[in-house]
Amino acid sequence: MDKVLQCAAFDLGASGGKVILGAFDGERVSLSEVYRFSNSPILLGDHIYWDFLRLFEEVKKGLQLVHKLTGGKIASVAIDTWGCDYALLDRYDHLIENPYCYRDSRTHGMMEKAFQRMPRAEIYARTGVQLMQLNTVFQLLAMAEAYPETLDRAETFLMIPDLFNYYLTGKKVCEFTNTTTTQVYDPFTDDWNKPILQAMGIPGSIFPAIVRPGTILGDISAWLGEELGIRPTPVIAVASHDTASAVCAIPTIQKDSAFLSSGTWSLLGHEEGSPVINEYGAKNNFSCYGGVCNSWLIWKNIQALWLLQECTRVWAEQGKPYSHEDLILIASQAKPFGPILDTDDILFLTPGDFPMKIAEYCLRTGQPPPENDGAVVRSILESLAIKYRHVFDRLQEVTGKPLNQINVIGGGSRNWLLNQFTAEAVGLPVKAGPAEATSIGNIMMQLMALDELDCLSDAREVVQVSFETATFESCKTEAWEDAYGKYLEISTKSKVFNA
């Protein structure tokens, strides 16, 4: 390639967003962070929302910055976000209300109501999606129950990244990977799941066409380009579910390895060539989600570093602003194998004073609470490693394959202490990195859409030569086995929201 191709990845997570510029010279890709902004749920009355209008303003700022930085020579842009959440447009294409956050309490009890309309086993068999109260289907059922007039006004349903793409291009479509997180997608017909929609009383007419990752939606709308003073730029629907994008960036993935996308949530799974929906997946509540290039991702959601993020927020408000390095240091100095937490306990689903919630959980499960902040952090990290062990064992049952390595990607791959704990708890080597996997995968998919890369294996070879990784060797001990046994006992006392 005679010139460097530049693509912009807009990666929005549940705690913040960033704009990453990827420069591809034909062999390697290099990253530069252009812009970063905060994102947090907004509590308004009894409900929790995302502040979409502010987030779109942040996206517009990012667009202006990347065009200024590149002199307008930008090949394409693309957006990825979290899954499950959605927005509704009315017949005038106006946003009816700010999107609800998946942590909103309106979904409490909705799974039980849904199972009265369609048996739990049938919902899973029709979708292959892990049953969690935060899933789109239960959010929609909650709206149908409490605010049916809102659904009556709805003309178009869009997932969060699709809503951004609509305001960027005017195209109303739903991208495949995020669509598969809704539990109203049918993997057998590649369409919206009409029996489930009918059973839940959700109008099927509001759901638009589904497009595959790598679809070029068109240029940024003329009105937006004029407002921002930027040139026409292609917008690409990449793997808009952030985990699907992150899995794209696993360097030369092995067939017998698992992936662990580590962040606010952890997604522990395996990449397959076709959907895997079976009795083991149903029993262990695994998801079968869509990936790129006809791949399918079999994983289980684990509520993960969210606990540490909430603790850090509370401590900062108390005048203790711990850095990432500080947290690892105080955890490494704390006494090992204190209280064991099931991080998926419903107590940890909603925001709040998490040091206090952890103490409450310990008392409820007959354990002494952590003695200090370092003990809290270590308890979270050790509990996560043990949870990974439990889910990893179940993953092998679901896939029917022995797996011998874990590839950790995402921001959590920077946490060397958690990586080491994971290698010790699972008893297998852990390969960590790249940390910016979601943005990298977003950019790789843009390059494939632009015909700069031929296939997913080519993209992964580029990642392999472009970014460093670290390996953590396993050294399984009796202490970890004892801790795992304690987890199995404690977890029976938990009220798990995604059991």
- Residues tagged active-site: 242
- Beta partners for residue 90, in sequence order: none
Q: From CA 105, how far away is CA 133, in angstroms rounded?
A: 9
Amino acid (one-letter) located at 463 = V
* Share in percent of the chain as helix, strand, coil (round to 5): 45, 20, 35
Q: Distance from first CA to last CA of the chain, Å, rounded?
A: 50
| Residue 244 · residue 297 · CB < 8 Å | yes
113 burial level (CB within 10 Å; 0-12, 13-18, 19+): middle
- At which residue do the structure tokens 């850095």 appear? 323
**Residue 348 in tokens:** 């940890």
Number of helical (H) and strand (E) elements in the chain, helices listed first: 19, 21
Residues 6+ apart with CB under 8 A from 318: none
**Residue 247 in tokens:** 């899995």
Residue 224: other Cβ atoms inside 10 A: 17
- Tell me, rounded to whole angstroms, the distance of Cα 32 from its chain centroid: 22
Q: From CA 343, how far away is CA 490, in angstroms rounded?
A: 11
Quick one: which H or E segment has residue 430?
Answer: strand 430-432
Sign of the CA dihedral 10, 438, 30, 411?
positive
Q: From CA 220, how far away is CA 226, in angstroms rounded?
A: 10
